[in-house]
Amino acid sequence: MHTAIRRCLSLAWFLLAGVMLPACTTNPTTGRSQFNYFTREDEIALGMQAKPELMKEFGGEVARADLRNYVTEVGMRLARHTEGDAPSLPWEFTLLDSDVINAFALPGGKVFMSRGLAAKMTSEAQLAGVLGHEIGHVTARHTNDRMTQSLLVTVGAVTAAVLLENSDASDATKTVAPLVLQFGGQSIILQYSRDQESEADSLGLRYMTREGYDPRAQVQVMEILKASVTGERGLEFFSTHPYPETRIKRLNRLLQTDYASMVNNPNYRTGEQEFRTRFLSKLSAAYPKAGEPRFASSEAELDAMGGRGELGMIGLAAETDCASHAR
């Protein structure tokens, strides 16, 4: 490689590291060193800007204020148990008028759940499990991590293209290699996304138990998802989310270890009667002709509604370690 090219590439990586390292902080939720691609103000602004369009794509909010208020009430009680300055985020919990089973979050404290998913639940603790999972995506700043990972993949792909262009490799290699390298990078990002789903599951357990909910409800949510899956599924390696069975096994391990003292403990409630009275009966009355709750029938349908939700079939515990970016 020519000395000039080597110097240019070294300078590019040096400048990238120089920009990223000063912006690293320790996330109080995860305890990890994290590069701040977005500031807190950026994340709040992004969530506020994206919310109206997402609501439109998913049918808007449900019409009944009592249903919306109930979801908000449970969500706000969970949000107060978050770490650092997260309790002061402008949290909003939106119940969407869609029969597609979905839940997701935007940066800055915007959490969404469909009535299709809510209709499948049987307890307030299950509702808390879903909302806690989405809160976890916000407090772990998973969107921030995903953007950082995308940036690094892009830099790597560009670097590879420059190196190959100035090497003795064949024309075919020069054409295909950058694509392979980029696919490899994207595969790493998918793995991060699966890890982040697991992290959000763990954080969901943390927040719901801090509010006194039975942690077994989180497993019940995964059972709901498992029972709702129809048709063939691709290899899990190429999925952005772990299968429900994978998540159930992991959650059960946590229930047997970290949360063992809370299982079969009367101090941790399910809120089944409360959920039936204040929510489920009113939801059925408000939408007597609603379609059967379902997953989107195709990727095209998901894309038309803003993409796959963060709950998974139910988005990102990547260890974005600042020191690794400098190397």
Q: What is the pLDDT of residues 107-163, one digit of tens each?
A: 999 999 999 999 999 999 999 999 999 999 999 998 888 777 666 555 555 555 555
Report percent pLDDT > 70 for the chain. Answer: 66
Which tokens go with 105?
Answer: 């979050």
- Tell me, yes or no, whether 212 lies in a domain: yes
Tell whether the model's pLDDT for residue 259 goes beyond 80: yes
- Tell me, yes or no, whether 62 lies in a domain: yes
Which tokens go with 56?
Answer: 């439109």
Report percent pLDDT > 90 for the chain. Answer: 50
3-state SS of 192-246? HHHHHHHHHHHHHHHHHHHCCECCHHHHHHHHHHHHHCCCCCCCHHHCCCCCHHH
- pLDDT digits 0-9 by tens, 168-191: 555 554 454 444 444 444 444 344
- Tell me, yes or no, whether 6 lies in a domain: no
Tell whether the model's pLDDT for residue 272 goes beyond 90: yes
The Cα 209–Cα 128 span in angstroms is 9
pLDDT at position 112 = 95
pLDDT at position 9 = 46
Calculate mean pLDDT across residues 259-284: 97
Calculate mean pLDDT across residues 256-265: 97
Indicate yes or no: pTM above 0.85.
no
Tell whether the model's pLDDT for residue 324 goes beyond 60: no
pLDDT at position 15 = 43
- Tell me, yes or no, whether 15 lies in a domain: no
Tell whether the model's pLDDT for residue 267 goes beyond 90: yes
The mean pLDDT value of the chain amounts to 78
Tell whether the model's pLDDT for residue 195 goes beyond 70: yes
- Tell me, yes or no, whether 199 lies in a domain: yes
- Tell me, yes or no, whether 10 lies in a domain: no
Which tokens go with 179?
Answer: 């694509």
pLDDT at position 193 = 74
Q: How far apart are the first and last CA of the chain?
A: 20
The Cα 275–Cα 137 span in angstroms is 24
pLDDT at position 2 = 55
Tell whether the model's pLDDT for residue 258 goes beyond 90: yes
More confident residue, 176 or 264: 264
- Tell me, yes or no, whether 192 lies in a domain: yes
- Tell me, yes or no, whether 208 lies in a domain: yes
More confident residue, 326 or 81: 81
- pLDDT digits 0-9 by tens, 90-102: 999 999 999 889 8
Calculate mean pLDDT across residues 63-88: 97
Tell whether the model's pLDDT for residue 223 goes beyond 60: yes
Host domain of residue 240: 24-326
**Number of domains the chain contains:** 1
